[in-house]
Amino acid sequence: MPTSQDQLKKMAGERAVEFIHNNMVVGLGTGSTVKFMVDALGKKVKDEGLTIVGVPTSERTRLQANRLGITTKGVDEVDHIDLTVDGADQIDKRFQGIKGGGGAHLWEKIVAINSDKNMWIVDESKMTDQLGSFPLPLEVIPYGSKQLFKRLSNKGLNPKFRMKDGQHVLTDSKNYIIDLYLHQIDDPEKLASELDHMTGIVEHGLFLNIVNTVIVGYESGPKILH
Ligand code: 5RP
C-alpha cells in the first residue's frame, strides 16, 4: 500500500525530534506536520524527563504543547532559541520557501529569524523546482485592506482575501490574510523586496535564506537535506 501524505509528514516530524535535546529552547512551528512533531516531542519529554522550553508560533501549537506537558514561553520571554522546527508549503532547491498556508507565517517568521538554527519538516510533495504554484500568503492590516487589495490587483499579483463562512480569516494577531495566486515566482528575492515595501502588508510568506536543514518524508524513509 502506498504511504499516505500524513504518514510522510509523521515520519519527517518524528525524525526532527531526534535533533531536540535536554535544556534546549525550541521554536515550535504550526501546521499538520508540526502537529506530528509536537506529539512526538511531548512523548520524548515525558519518557526521558527532558527540560525543554517550547516557543510556539501560534495559539494552536501552544495549546497542543501545553496539553502534552511541554513548557512554553513567548518569544519575548526567552533570551535565545536554539532550534526552530516548522513545516512549509513549498521549498525549492535553494531552500527558499513559501509558508503561511495555515495563516501563521508572521509569528513563524518572527520566531525563525530569532533562532540559531531553523529546520523545516515536509512530505515530498512540498519539494519543487520553482516556487509559486502554492498561493503566496500575506498577513495584512484590516485598515485599508481593500485599497491594498486594489494595489496588488493593479500590479497583476492576483490577490484573493482568505475567507471562511463569509468572514475574513483572522490571524493570531487579528489581521487578515490575502493570498496571491501567482502560479510561478521567477524572482523570489525581487518579489519579497517589493512586498516588504508595500504599506499595509505586515508580512509575506516568502521565507528566504532562513533554513539550514530540511527533513523530507519520502516513501523510502525520511531524508535529511543540508
Ligand atoms: C502555517 C505554515 C505551515 O507550516 C505550512 O502551511 C505547512 O502546513 P502543513 O504541515 O499542514 O502542510 O506555514 O502558517
CA of 88 to the centre of ligand 1 (A): 5
Which atom of ligand 1 approaches the CA of 121 most closely? 10
Per the structure block, which three cell numbers stand in for 179?
493570498
Residue-level pLDDT at 117: 98
H-run or E-run covering 11: helix 5-17
Rounded (10°) CA dihedral 67, 71, 73, 75 = -90
Residue-level pLDDT at 20:
98
Among the options 108, 189, 194, 203, which is catalytic? 108
Q: Is 124 a catalytic residue?
A: no
CA distance 130 to 93: 8
CB of residue 86 inside a 6 A radius of ligand 1? yes
Q: Is the CB of 103 under 6 A from ligand 1?
A: yes
Residue of 33, 59, 118, 204 with the most ligand 1 atoms within 8 Å of its CB, for mutation: 33
Which pLDDT belongs to residue 70?
97
Which of 58, 89, 177, 207 to mutate for ligand 1's pocket (most ligand atoms within 8 Å of CB)? 89
Q: What residue owns the CA closest to ligand 1's atom 4?
A: 87
Within a 10 A sphere around the Cβ of 27, how many other Cβ atoms?
28
- How many Å apart are CA 96 and CA 120, to the nearest integer? 11
Rounded distance between C-alpha atoms, residue 85 and residue 211, angstroms: 10
Q: What is the mean pLDDT of each run of 10 residues along the chain (226 residues)?
A: 90 98 98 98 97 98 98 98 98 97 98 98 98 98 98 98 98 98 97 98 98 96 96
pLDDT at 209: 96
If you ran DSSP here, which 8-state letter would residue 103 be given?
S
What is residue 221's predicted lDDT score, i.e. its pLDDT?
Answer: 95
ipTM of the complex: 0.98
Alpha-carbon distance of 80 to 96, in angstroms, equals: 24
Supply the pLDDT for residue 3. Answer: 83
Predicted local confidence at residue 122, as pLDDT: 98
For 82-101, b/e burial (b = at least 16 CB within 10 A) is bbbbbbbbbbbeebbbbbbb
Q: What is the pLDDT at residue 216?
A: 98
Q: Can you say which residues are annotated as belonging to the binding site for substrate?
A: 30-33, 86-89, 99-102, 126
Cell reading at 197: 515595501
Q: Which residues contact 155 (CB under 8 A, 6 or more apart)?
A: 194
